[in-house]
Amino acid sequence: MNRQNYSSGTSWEELAGYSRAVRIGDRILVSGTTATDEKGQLVGGDDPAAQTRYAIQKIERAIRALGGELSDVVRTRVYVSNADNWEPVARTHGEFFREIRPANTLVEARLVGPHYLVEVEAEAVVLTAK
């Protein structure tokens, strides 16, 4: 079975020795993704919805680079630094996944820095050749 790795270009991937996403067969596994751009800058400021939107768009780019689509996502896990932000985060998740309806978990967690409000990971299964 062939393995494909995808990097989004953040310095953390090389530093910590991980890939943004890995495809093995029909599965694409996407690492926990924050609203960090390729220059290491936070996107979305103190807006949990904006951070969620950027993280999901970054996940979508990774999945597409490995031959999948967002519609192939079967599982998401969402981590928020403050449970009070659950609703704007959940609503933004719904903008992308309302029709797809993957299995989902949302938990409060201590994230990598005080300005990070949300981190999202995803799993996709690509059932058809694309």
Bridge partners of 120, per DSSP, are: 33, 78
Is residue 57 in some structural domain?
yes
**Distance, CA of 102 to CA of 57 (rounded, Å):** 16
Is residue 130 in some structural domain?
no
Full residue range of the structural domain in which residue 89 is found: 3-125
pLDDT reported for residue 6: 97
Is residue 10 in some structural domain?
yes
CATH (domain of 89): 3.30.1330.40
Q: What is each CA distance from 88 to 2, 10, 49, 57, in whole angstroms?
A: 38, 26, 5, 16
User: pLDDT tens digits for the chain (130 residues)?
Assistant: 799 999 988 888 888 999 999 999 999 999 999 999 988 899 999 999 999 999 999 999 999 999 999 999 999 999 999 999 999 999 999 999 999 999 999 999 999 999 999 999 999 999 875 4
> For the chain, what is the domain count?
1
